Structure 1
C-alpha cells in the first residue's frame, strides 16, 4: 500500500518533500496536488515509471500527451527550443498558474520524449508541486488522476484519492482538498496563441 504523506502547502516540510523525492528517484509513482486537479506523476527520466503511467492511463508511451511540471521559468530552456520575447512575456504573465503551455520541444528532452515536436509545460501555483520539482532537480511528468466518468469527490478529497490509488502508486500526498477543474491549455508553438482547452485559467490574458 502507498504511503500517505501529509504536506502543508503554506509551509511544505523539507523532510517530507525529500521523502517523496526519494521515491521519485527510485522510479516510484506519486499522486500530488497542483493548483487544479490532483496529478499522477513520476520523474521524467525514469522510463519504467513512465511506462507504468502509460499502462494505468491506457495509452502508448509514444502517443501520450503529458505535461512537464517545472519549478520556474529558468529551466525551461533545457526542454524547449528558443523562446521569443512575446512568448516569454505570456509565460511570465501567466505563470505560476493553472495553465498548460504547448511549446516546441528542445534537443535535450529525455530519451522517452525525443520524438516529440512539442511539449506541454506546467508551473502550477502550488508550493508542494514546485518544491518537489526543485528538490528533484528536473521536471516530473504530470497527468490528471481524473477520468471523465469519475465521481468528483474521488479526485478532490485526499483520503478518497488514497483509497482509490493506494494500491497503484507508491506515495499519495495529502495536500488538502484539490479542485476538479483542469488547467487551460494554450498552444504557443505556432505564430499566434491558440486555446486548445478552456479550464481554470482565464483566457483574457492572451
Structure 2
C-alpha cells in the first residue's frame, strides 16, 4: 500500500482498534494459480505475538485453504471513510485550486497463514467469535444454545485459520496534509451530513482519532 509520510499510522493500539471495529476483513493469499481473496470476520488476539495474531475460518469447500501460499498472506481491514468535496475547503474561495478526494483508514496485516481442522480448536474459535459479535445484544446467542450434534456437524464444514502478524501497513488519510482551516472545513462538512453514518464516523475520527462504533 502506498503511504505518503503524512498519512503513515504507527500507533499500534489505534491500529488494533481499527481492526477490531472493522468487523469484516478480506484475507488475500498468493498461490501458484493466482491471487485468492475471501471476505470473512477475523478475531484479533493482541496477547499473542508482538503485533497480535488473527483467527478466523473459511468454508471447507473454499479452495483458498487447499492452495499453498507462495508468500505471506495479507488481511485487509477498512476503517471510517468518506467522500470529501472541495466545497468544504476554505482555500477554495481564494484560488479555486482544489479537487475532490476520499478520506479513509486502511490496515494491511501480513503473516504466514496456518489452516487447521481440529474440532476442539474450531469449537474454541467459533465460540470466541460468537461471543465477540453477540456481546452487545441484550440477550446474546451462544454456541451452547444449539444442539451439540448440530454444532459438530457445522464444524465439519469449516476450516480454521491462524495468522500471526509479522508486519503491518497502516494508513490514516484524514486531511492531515491540508491547512488547519481546510481540515476544520472538512470536519464541519462531514458533521453536517447527518444522514450519512460513514461521514459522521470520519468526522469523529478527525476530531479525536476515535474509532467509532467498535464492537465491545
Mark yes or no: TM-score above 0.5: no
Which structure's CA Rg is the greater one? 2
State the TM-score, normalized to the length of structure 2: 0.25
State the TM-score, normalized to the length of structure 1: 0.25
Q: Which has the higher contact order (CA 8 A, sep 6+)?
A: 1
